[in-house]
Structure 1
Amino acid sequence: MPILLAGLFTLIWLGITGSWTLPNLILGLLLSIVALMLVRFQLGTPQTVRRPVKILALVALFVVELIKSAWRVLVLVTKPRMDVKPGIIVYPLRVQSDFQIALLANLITLTPGTLTVDVTDDRSRLIIHALDAVDPDAVRADIEQGFERLILEAFG
């Protein structure tokens, strides 16, 4: 399974960088291996993959959310008058393990228009900056019904 993850991370690296050259492939593979080793070292025991279909659903949701939010941000910043209401949102967590919290925080940060700022000391809430926080409850509901639900289903 670690070899598959390294391959997946390498493909993601190639897609993000937009460079499909051999040196970039090698760099992506090395970064993937190092990242996986660091995660394994930090967690002590590797996370078990119990539901690979749910993990694929999480990846698919991320890609869809990435495209949708990138489009929303593009529309916002190309308007002559940017009518945004940025704000800080406190999100109550249902995920509990360090791995789950880190995964959720990173998925939020990687989605354009949102940024995970902090995790509270008791690990019960995320502090999130949203580019457009007109409806904080809608942002919370999107996270809860999307990323967090699938993380719990895949790794819970």
Structure 2
Amino acid sequence: MQLFVTNVLISLLWALLTGKVSVGNLAVGFVLGYVALTLLHSEKEERKNSYFRKSLQIVRFALFFTKELVVSSWRVARDVIKPLPEMRPGVVGIPIDAETDLEITLLANVISLTPGTLSLDVSPDRKTLYIHAMYVINPDDLRKEIKEGLERRLLELLR
């Protein structure tokens, strides 16, 4: 956490030195600060510090989710335009490894943000998440896609 605060302070210092306080300039300062902190810390310290690891996981998750968002948006848009839709809607129960309220809530929200899927409910024992999907050709494939895709990456990020 200390390195993150240092990185934010470097970003603010960059904005003040350049004389332009904007979101873009703060982002440039943040990236420059991140690079500087990476160069200043030894590999031994870096292995101990989770700041660099977590920040890379955040970037990887953001890129993965963006790809999923684009692919699912394209699929839904293409299906809306087609004369004969390929939709096969259904409700599927997905066994989840998420345990805390935060993990379950974030997983449900990430699933709901992706076009074509909507989180409906969590079982009373909090082991199954029920979702509605527009394209349920094979429920097992959908379960595998969510478990190995969104859930695995999200839990890596949170744990």
Per the shorter chain, which TM-score range? Answer: 0.5 to 0.7
The Cα shift of 1:150 comes to: 1.0
Which position in structure 2 is the counterpart of 1:74?
A: 77
- SS at 2:136 equivalent: coil
TM-score (norm 1): 0.67
Aligned length: 114
Which position in structure 1 is the counterpart of 2:93?
A: 90
Which position in structure 2 is the counterpart of 1:115?
A: 118
Per-residue CA shift, 1:22-66, capped at 9, x if unaligned? xxx9xxxxxxxxxxxxxxxxxxxxxx9772211221111110000
- Find the aligned partners of 2:119 and 2:55 in 1 and give their Cα distance: 26
Q: For structure 2, which runs of at least 5 residues remain unmatched after alignment?
A: 9-22, 24-49
Higher alpha-carbon Rg:
2
- Find the aligned partners of 2:156 and 2:143 in 1 and give their Cα distance: 18
Structure with greater contact order relative to length (CA < 8 Å, sep ≥ 6):
1
Per-residue CA shift, 1:46-92, capped at 9, x if unaligned? xx977221122111111000000000101111110113110000000
Q: What letter matches 2:146 in structure 1?
A: I
Which position in structure 2 is the counterpart of 1:145?
A: 148
Q: What letter matches 1:96 in structure 2?
A: E
Could you list the structure 1 runs, at least 4 aligned residues long, displaced by more than 4 angstroms after superposition.
none
Name the Cα RMSD after superposition. 2.2
Give 1:1-156 correspondences, 5 Å limit. 51-156=54-159
TM-score (norm 2): 0.65
